Structure 1
């Protein structure tokens, strides 16, 4: 469904990356002392938000990750950045706390994930099995809208990478940086793209079928 951008303002980046129309926050600066602090910032921001939209193509969105899956995400991010892994257990705990927002009243939460995140997993099969169970539970509850963009479906636009829209700020992750876009015109572009991808994605029983087929392939391998 179309999304009307709320008028709330985003708090300053905890790492002093600025509050301009757009800003780059290098990951090495954000997680130089570990990942827990960065997750704490997300926890605070999402609790204050009224609207959260996730569009992810390469991994399961953080709000739906299991602890084991999240741990592998943090470890895989730390390796190329050369940052500390000493607080990963704490970071995982905070990421799990973030998921309480899924049950908070008065919020609009839409999570769109591409099936490619399941077809080419970077996590072991045992961890993916548990993660698929978690995603299956996410299909259906009225407080969270969850859809999957199937492999092979023709899409109207090239999606170069995933992104999140939290109230009126777009967050885009690259290998080395996080880009935050606050310019209303640019945010509107990402919102329109999210709307169009959302309309092409599967929900309900169709989404469950994708998850079940992925789980069956894991059992075979």
Structure 2
């Protein structure tokens, strides 16, 4: 997936190099173009060699400086094409976490059956406000992004109203590690585990836990969400991957089914959660 992204970025870089060398403004050296744009030469080099992702403003400036303003839309379409699948946290969090939550909420609203896998965190659809607050705070620190924690918490908690919509189904699986990870104070985690116990039995929610003691068909991997059969979102440290091609969706469908073979449900899931709660 990241390889496809890199190939697309390299292809965009090659197009930029072509504009610099053979645009209507005539052949420009990298140094000349950098001077025209007020950039460092290293930025021109990185963009042309696919080592840095251009912004929409970068592409517009490049097209104009090489005498090719008419190709701006083409360049923007190339950028949008690969950024729609690889959504970097740096860009997504430019204005804080609230915008990211709103984008996810829009996808949830379009979805009838949502399958969620989490290996180290409690799934957002089941998070208490205090737990979500701790998660957003730590993520903002890591990403050095604007702090709009309370807005993000409210958006996440409001989205949980869908858990009580009889027209929707939420199939959620978590590794037992998510029940023990102290990403928040122990008292907050205790309340969060109580929250998990309270949703077992809802006819719109299927909550599965994979105990440490159960054999795994595959390794836990990253968290991912399957929206009906049309979209998969995978979360990594640097970005979210939004995958809508049939092959990728099929791969995550197989991963879900393999993980599900190791999960326990109902009273057995309740027991695992209760044991984690007592351990606190």
| TM-score normalised by structure 2 residue count | 0.69
Deviation of the 1:186 alpha carbon: 1.4
1:113-142 CA deviation, whole Å, 9 max, x = no partner? 110112232211010011011000111111
Size of the aligned set, in residue pairs, is 202
Any residues of structure 2 matched to 1:20-169 within 5 Å, and which?
Answer: 23-85=85-147, 87-167=148-228, 168-169=230-231
2:24 counterpart residue number: none
Unaligned stretches of 5+ in structure 2? 1-76
- CA offset at residue 22 of structure 1? 7.3
Distance 1:142 1:19, change over 3 A: farther
Higher RCO structure (Cα 8 Å, ≥6 apart): 1
1:18-51, Cα deviation, whole Å (9 max, x unpaired): 4669721001111111111111111121011112
What SS does the aligned partner of 1:133 have? helix
Deviation (angstroms), 1:182:
1.0
Q: Please give the secondary structure, in 2, of the residue aligned with 1:200.
A: coil
- RMSD across aligned positions (CA): 1.7
Q: Secondary structure at the match of 1:89?
A: helix
Q: C-alpha distance in 1, partners of 2:217/2:166?
A: 33
Quote the Cα distance in structure 1 between the aligned partners of 2:193 and 2:178: 11
Q: Which moved more, 1:18-27 or 1:195-204?
A: 18-27
* Structure number having the greater helix percentage: 2
The one-character-per-residue Cα deviations of 1:91-127 (angstroms, maximum 9, x if unpaired) are 1001001101111132221000110112232211010
Match of 2:244 in 1: 182
TM-score, length basis structure 1: 0.86
Q: Distance in 1 between matches of 2:169 and 2:179?
A: 25
Structure 2: distance between partners of 1:92 and 1:27: 18
Contact 2:217–2:261 (CA under 8 A) maintained in structure 1: no
- Runs of 5+ consecutive residues of structure 1 not aligned to the other structure: 1-15
**Correspondence for 1:205:** 267
